Amino acid sequence: MLWLQLIEARERKGWTQAQLGEKVGVTEYTVFRWEHREAKPRSKYLLKLMEVLGVDEFGLGLIYVPMTTQSQEQRVDLCDTMHHRLFIPIYQ
């Protein structure tokens, strides 16, 4: 679960929502919305979250599959694409 994994990873670092937001390039309110399931991070932010938190996609409760022409056509609104990756939440 992205929101729960995000909270746990942030707290392991001892960071506030404001500190994580600064490192990722978003506002504290945006981090709040991610953690309270009011919004989902776009791929560029998922990649940055993985980098700054030191986790992989599984550490954020996600899987990714390489993009193909067929999977691009089957894009789901829960998912976001960037750098030829399709991030899919493990939970629904």
Query: What pLDDT sits at residue 8?
Result: 93
Confidence of residue 23 (pLDDT cuts 50, 70, 90): very high
Query: What are the tens digits of pLDDT across the range 34-87?
Result: 999 999 898 889 889 999 999 988 788 777 666 554 444 444 434 444 444 555
> Does position 13 have pLDDT exceeding 70, yes or no?
yes
Residue scoring higher pLDDT (32 or 78): 32
Q: How many domains does the structure of the chain reveal?
A: 1
pTM of the model: 0.71
CATH number at residue 46: 1.10.260.40
Query: What pLDDT sits at residue 56?
Result: 85
Q: Which residue range is the domain that position 38 belongs to?
A: 2-89
What would the DSSP string read from start to end of the chain? -HHHHHHHHHHHHT--HHHHHHHHTS-HHHHHHHHTTS----HHHHHHHHHHHT--TGGGTEEEEE--HHHHHT--TT-EEETTEEEEES--
